[in-house]
Structure 1
C-alpha cells in the first residue's frame, strides 16, 4: 500500500480529496496556526484515501516549483525524513527553492500509516529544530470546538507526531554524535569543509578552514579577501582550474601555498567538486587540508635525495639524472678534482677537510654562476655542466678561472690551508652519449693531473 501511495504521489502530488477532504475540512485553519507557531513557510497534511495520498490541508504560500514535492514526501512516507539543508543533501541539492524539509508519517498504534505531515521552508534549519517542530505541532493539535470525528483525527495526529518527535530526537542525537566524531577526526587530520555559491560568490566554511587561514571562527569571509592569501603561482593555477571546473562541471585537486592572516606560510590541499543544475554549475564545494608538515617532509626528502648535505650542491644522483636527460641539452662537462685534499685531511683532520669542501662549493658556485648545474659527485670531486651554447673557448676560460680561484688559500682560524684543482673538459656532441661524455671528461682530468696538476685539459681523441 505504501509503495502504491508513494508512486501515486510522484505522478499527482496535489490531488484534491473528496471523502477525506470533507472529513478534514477544518484542518486548514489548524495547519495555518501550526505554520505560524513553527515559523515555517509552508505546511501540508496528506491522508490516505483508498490507498492514495491526497491533500487534506495546507497552509502558507507554496514555494515555486513545489510540484516536485513528491521527491520529498514519497521518501518521508516510509520513515521520518528531515533534510536540514537541501543544498548539502545530494538527493535534493538541485531543489534550490526548498532548503528545509521535515516529513513526519502518521502511524496508528497498529502500525498502519494514515497520513503525512510535511513542513517546508526557504531557509535551512538545524536537525533538532525538526524534532521541536514535531512536538509543537503535536501540542497545537488540541481538539477544540470540532466534531467528534475531527477530534479523534486530531488526537491520533497528536499522538503520532509525539512518537515521531521522539524518533527525530534520537536521529538528531545520533547525527550530533557522528558530527562530533567527524569534527574530531577533521581536526586531527587538519581538514575543513567549504562551499561557494557561484551566484553570489558567498563562502561557507567549517572551523577547520578558519583555523587554516588563522581567522576567528565564524567571522565574515569573502572570496576576494581570501584569494589575497594565495601565493601568485598558486593563485594563477587556482583561477585556471576553477574556470575549467565551472565550464566543464568537473572537479579538481590542487596543492596551494598561502600566507595566513597572521603572516604564516602554509600549504594546503584543495579538493573541489562541482554541483550543477540543468548542466550549469551552481555551487563549488569540497575540503581543504593543511599539508604544511607533509610538504616540508616531502621537500626535505627530495633535498636529501638530490643535494649534498654538507655543501648544498647537487649530489651525484641529481647530476647523473641531469646528464642523462634527453630533454635538456648540454654543451660541455667539466670535472674538477682537488689537489692536496688528502694531505689536509690527514694533517689537520676531517673537520678542516670539510671546511675546505664547503669553501670549494662556494667558490665553484660563484665562478660558475652561468652553469646549468654544479654538483659534488664524490669525496673531493665536483662537476660543472654548461649549456648547449657553450663553445670551447668559453669552457676553457671557465676551467682557467676554476683552477685560479681554487688555488687561493683557505683560511680557517689560525690555519692557512693550501689547495689546488685539476680540471678535465669534454665537449658534448650529438654522437657522444652521456656515459661517453663523462669518460671523456675523466680522461681529460687525468691528463691535467699528469701534466703537473693545478691546470686543465680539453679532451681530444688523440
Structure 2
C-alpha cells in the first residue's frame, strides 16, 4: 500500500464527507495498517486507528513520542532514529522493519514507511504508514528454517554450512576449529535393523553432539552420516582434542531403540585455526577431512588432529586464489 494511494484516498474521503474517511480508517485498521503524522515543530503525533491497534493503545488516547519510542526494540529504535534524522536532513523517504513490544507485552513486527513534507526547503512534518507484518515475518522465518535445517535432526543442513562457512567471503568469526565426525559402520545398522533404526541413531548423534558442544558456533549434518562442528577459540584449560575424545565416548554409548540396544562409534578429524579472524575455510575443511580419513584408516573410533596452517601459508593461498580469479576474469 503506497503513500500516494493513502494521500489520494484521504483526499477523496475529505471531499465525500466524514463517512468515507471513517470507512477508510476502519478498512486500514482491519488490514493491520495505520497512518501517522509527526509535526517536527513540537513532535506532536497524529495516528489513525490502525496505528493505535498496532501498539496496543486505546484508540484516540493522547500519545507522546517519547513513550512510543520506549516500545521499540533497542536495535530497531537506534536504526529508526538514524534513518529519521537522515530523512529530515535530506528530505527523502525511508522504510524500516522494526520490532516493537506492545503495552500488553506482545512482541510485534511492523513495517514503517515515512516521507517528509516540506514548506519550501524546510521540513515541517513526517508522515507515512505503519503496517503489522508479524505474520509475514513468522512465515518467512519458517521458510528460512525449513531451507536451512536438516528435517531429521533439526541441525543446520549442508546448504547452511556451505553458505555460512565454505562459500562465505567472510565466514563466521572468531573461529577456533572445524571438527568433522563420521559414524563408524552406519551402513551395517541400516542393513541389519532398517532405516528407522538408522534414523534413531542419527537423531541420537545430533543430540549428543549438541550436548557436548553446547557453545559451538554451528553443529550441522553435512551428509548421510557426516556431521560438522564449528567452535569458537578454545580455553587453555580444556584442550579441544580432549573435548572431542569425550564426545566420541558419548557417541559410543548404546542407543535404546524399541527392545534393542544399538551400538555405534564415530571417528573425528580436527583442524584448528592459528588466527581466529583470518583463515581459509576451504583449506580448513580439507585439513579436517584428511584428519578424519586418517582416523578412519587408523582403526576408527578415534580422533586425529591436522597440523594448523601457518599465517604465511594462509596469505600465500589467498594471494594465489586471488591471482587465479583475476586470471579467469
Q: Report TM bin, short chain.
A: 0.7 to 0.9
Other-structure match for 2:49 = 207
| Aligned mates of 2:77, 2:218 — CA distance in 1 | 30
The 3-state SS of whatever aligns with 2:141 is helix
Other-structure match for 2:255 = 410
- Please list, as runs of the form range in 1=range in 2, the aligned pairs for 1:21-60 lying within 5 A after superposition: none
Does residue 292 in structure 1 map to residue 134 in structure 2?
yes
Inter-CA distance 370–211: structure 2 relative to 1 (3 Å threshold): closer
Work out which of the residue numbers 98, 119, 125 in structure 2 matches 1:277: 119
Contact 1:331 1:390 in 2 (8 A): no
Other-structure match for 1:313 = 155
- Please list, as runs of the form range in 1=range in 2, the aligned pairs for 1:45-444 lying within 5 A after superposition: 127=14, 171-172=15-16, 179=21, 182-183=24-25, 186-187=28-29, 189-277=31-119, 279-321=121-163, 322-328=165-171, 330-387=175-232, 394-411=239-256, 414-427=259-272, 434-444=281-291
| Aligned mates of 1:389, 1:281 — CA distance in 2 | 54
The 3-state SS of whatever aligns with 1:345 is helix
| Aligned mates of 1:382, 1:323 — CA distance in 2 | 15
| Aligned mates of 1:209, 1:456 — CA distance in 2 | 59
Other-structure match for 1:449 = 296
| Aligned mates of 2:147, 2:7 — CA distance in 1 | 46
Aligned-CA RMSD value = 3.4
Inter-CA distance 225–357: structure 2 relative to 1 (3 Å threshold): same
| Aligned mates of 1:249, 1:374 — CA distance in 2 | 47
Structure 2 residue ranges without an equivalent (≥5): 1-5, 309-329
The 3-state SS of whatever aligns with 1:224 is helix
Inter-CA distance 172–193: structure 2 relative to 1 (3 Å threshold): same
The Cα of 1:411 is off from its aligned counterpart by 3.5
The 3-state SS of whatever aligns with 1:263 is coil
Contact 1:255 1:269 in 2 (8 A): yes
The 3-state SS of whatever aligns with 1:215 is coil
| Higher radius of gyration, 1 or 2 | 1
Inter-CA distance 432–275: structure 2 relative to 1 (3 Å threshold): closer
The Cα of 1:286 is off from its aligned counterpart by 0.4
Inter-CA distance 274–230: structure 2 relative to 1 (3 Å threshold): same
Other-structure match for 2:323 = none
| Aligned mates of 1:259, 1:317 — CA distance in 2 | 33
The Cα of 1:422 is off from its aligned counterpart by 0.5
Contact 2:216 2:230 in 1 (8 A): yes
The Cα of 1:290 is off from its aligned counterpart by 0.9
The Cα of 1:452 is off from its aligned counterpart by 1.8
| Aligned mates of 1:300, 1:89 — CA distance in 2 | 35
| Aligned mates of 2:115, 2:228 — CA distance in 1 | 48
| Aligned mates of 1:262, 1:377 — CA distance in 2 | 43
In the TM superposition, what whole-angstrom CA distance separates every residue of 1:370-409 from its partner, at most 9, and x where no partner exists? 4332211012210122447799x94433332221221122
Inter-CA distance 203–209: structure 2 relative to 1 (3 Å threshold): same
